[in-house]
Amino acid sequence: MNEHGSVPTIKNLPRRGHGTAHEIDFEIKGQEMQFVEIELDPGESAIAEAGSMMFKDPTVHMDTVFGDGSKASGGFFGKLASAGKRLLTGESLFMTVFTHEGQGKARVAFAAPYPGSILAFDLAQMGGTLVAQKDAFLCAAKGVSVGIFFQKKIMTGLFGGEGFIMQKLEGDGMAFVHVGGAVIERVLAAGEELHVDTGCVAAMTATIDFDIVRAGSVKSMIFGGEGVFFARLRGPGTVWIQSLPFSRLAGRIIANAGPMGGKGEGSLLGPIGGVFDGDNS
């Protein structure tokens, strides 16, 4: 991946040939708050999480579907199973499909929900599968299936940061995921290990073995501030590590909000609160 500033920037990857998913062109724009702009030919479609759209051309028709809208989810029971999988990962039962119904080119854009990076993955070049944290999926070419990935080991599922369930993206099209903060990509050789904070595991190829290891001694586990377990990632494969998991960001915001709603240091209602509280007699 190329870099522009501190975040990945990808534009107009070459088309891949004949797959089952729609072949879309795209461009990732922005720095801290990124968005992906997708260019559609007539009849092409993209799928996205509900509420993620930033803008679209008038010829792009928007439709809400039950499940992920992939061709694999045919029939009522197939759609019901697809929707059930999305519910288990904490997502909505519905997904939005954007289809270009006019002539020429049309564009639709999807924005990241919080500061971080949008990563583009060509699933056809990754063996058809990508495993990601359960809220990472942003959008994809129509035909990509958004399912669930169960941790096979119970202890890993209970203490693996993102829990027992992660997202599994399958197909041969382009998929876009959002990760928090900055992101690094690490390629692990066969048998090579990497220990990562459990919440910082953003995505990985299906060949990576994901397990947990104890975070040092009992004293380190209790007082070290790094949690009780680390994620142990073992190759071969590729992992993407995020610097700011949303759970960590939310925790800092809640911790600093305080019972007085932020009334304290740096606030007008803090050191000089008497002036603004009406105590000026």
pLDDT by residue (tens digit) across 181-221? Answer: 889 999 999 999 999 988 889 999 999 998 887 665 444 44
Handedness of CA 76, 124, 107, 112 (dihedral sign): positive
Q: What pLDDT is recorded for position 224?
A: 45
Q: What pLDDT is recorded for position 140?
A: 94
Residue 8 predicted with pLDDT over 50: no
Residue predicted with more confidence, 12 or 128: 128
Residue 84 predicted with pLDDT over 70: no
Question: Considering the chain, what percentage of its residues have pLDDT values greater than 70?
Answer: 63
Whole-model pTM: value is 0.74
Average confidence (pLDDT) over 251-276: 56
pLDDT band at 170 (very low <50, low <70, confident <90, very high): very high
> Is domain 3-15+22-258 classified as CATH 3.60.21.10?
no
Residue 44 predicted with pLDDT over 60: yes
Residue 45 predicted with pLDDT over 50: yes
